[in-house]
């Protein structure tokens, strides 16, 4: 890894850490419980610190495990016992830091502690050449020791410039092939649940990513693709377009672009048994002495 690239990864990590601390203060101290307000303040803070979001901030609550970010019309309020997973990404010139924590207004409990220890134990064994199944084993064994299940079909992932899911995946169970490569960046991302330990797609999608841009019949499809250029094929929120395109036409245009293969939709993911999920995540640069950029 070139030194200039490493510096950008480290800067993205420092900013992501600061933004997560800001988000924690907003939720737990200032009691900012409106999900839309919380998301918009978090994303605004990323820009204020001189970086850009690598993806829309995910604020996934209880059985919703991932891929939820509010739309302008959402009126959701966080309740005392909710498990609130804040998953945020920051990029500096395309070099990404991805981090997540689970919060609860009622206080940290065993499920949250489990997710944090899963991440801690995984990071302890990170080194060049380690098999990803061994990382998954460490994560899985912590979940089992708490009496929970790790979520089998959610994984960590490699990171490349402007590429949020690059190369191999890092499982949360003792499964999979591949090794971590020296000089590469990875997001280590365990999830745990008292439920069955798997997620399924819901019908709603509020996050998209450009694949092979080809305008559809509606003129709004061209406008969406033009606006999406600034995201460099990183995921973007429907919410980011709602002030620019009529909401009804926006829905139709997004559907056209998904159907013609221009966009990938990321459906909201829910735990299959409707059990709550906790998540913890850090980004690590793999060297003989690994660097956790977001810690």
Q: How does 114-145 read in b/e, with b if 16+ C-beta sit within 10 Å?
A: bbbbbbebbbeebeeebebbebbbbbbebbee
Give yes or no: 98 in active site: yes
Contact status, residue 100 vs residue 85, Cβ threshold 8 Å: yes
DSSP states of 149-210: EE-TT--EEEEETTEEEEEEEE-SSS----BPPTT-EEEE--EEESS-S-EEEEEEEEEEEE
Q: Decide: helix, strand or coil at residue 27.
A: helix
For 236, phi then psi, to 5°, come to -135, 160
Q: Which residue among 40, 165, 181, 242 is the active-site one?
A: 165
For the chain, give the longest Cα–Cα distance. 55
> Could you report how far apart the first and last alpha carbons of the chain are, in Å?
20
Q: Report the candidate in 170, 181, 160 with the shortest Cα–Cα distance to residue 234.
A: 160
* 282 given a catalytic annotation: no
**Residue among 43, 189, 220, 271 flagged as catalytic:** 189
Active-site annotation holder among 87, 116, 117, 220: 87
Instruction: Encode burial over 75-104: b for 16+ CB neighbours within 10 A, e otherwise.
Output: eeebeeebbbbbbbbbbbebbbbbbbbbbb
Catalytic residue chosen out of the listed positions 157, 220, 271, 282: 157
Residue 109 bears catalytic tag: no
- Choose, from 43, 63, 98, 117, the residue flagged as catalytic: 98
- The answer to whether 122 touches 138, Cβ cutoff 8 Å, is yes
Active site residue 189: yes
Residues 64, 34 contacting (CB under 8 angstroms) = no
* Catalytic residue check, 87: yes
Catalytic residues: 87, 98, 157, 165, 189, 281
């Amino acid at each position: 890894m070139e030194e200039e690239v490493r510096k950008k990864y480290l800067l993205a990590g420092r900013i992501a850490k600061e933004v997560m601390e800001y988000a924690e203060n907003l939720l737990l101290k200032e009691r900012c419980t409106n999900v839309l307000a919380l998301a918009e303040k978090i994303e605004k803070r990323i820009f204020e610190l001189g970086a850009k979001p690598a993806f829309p901030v995910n604020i996934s609550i209880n059985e919703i495990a991932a891929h939820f970010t509010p739309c302008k019309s959402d009126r959701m309020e966080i309740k005392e016992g909710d498990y609130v997973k804040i998953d945020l990404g920051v990029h500096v010139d395309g070099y990404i830091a991805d981090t997540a924590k689970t919060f609860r207004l009622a206080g940290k409990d065993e499920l949250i502690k489990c997710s944090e220890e899963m991440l801690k134990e995984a990071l302890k064994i990170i080194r060049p050449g380690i098999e990803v199944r061994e990382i998954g084993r460490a994560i899985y064994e912590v979940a089992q020791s708490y009496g929970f299940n790790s979520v089998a079909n959610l994984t960590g992932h490699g990171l490349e410039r402007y590429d949020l899911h690059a190369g191999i995946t890092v499982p949360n169970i003792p499964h999979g092939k591949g090794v971590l490569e020296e000089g590469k960046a990875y997001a280590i991302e365990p999830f745990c649940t008292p439920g069955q330990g798997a997620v399924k797609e819901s019908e709603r999608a509020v996050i998209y990513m450009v694949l092979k841009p080809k305008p559809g019949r509606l003129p709004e499809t061209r406008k969406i693709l033009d606006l999406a250029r600034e995201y460099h094929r990183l995921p973007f929120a429907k919410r980011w377009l709602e002030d620019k395109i009529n909401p009804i036409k926006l829905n139709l245009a997004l559907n056209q672009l998904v159907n013609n293969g221009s966009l990938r939709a990321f459906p909201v993911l829910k735990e299959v048994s409707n059990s709550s999920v906790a998540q913890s995540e850090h980004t690590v640069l793999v060297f003989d002495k690994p660097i956790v950029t977001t810690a």
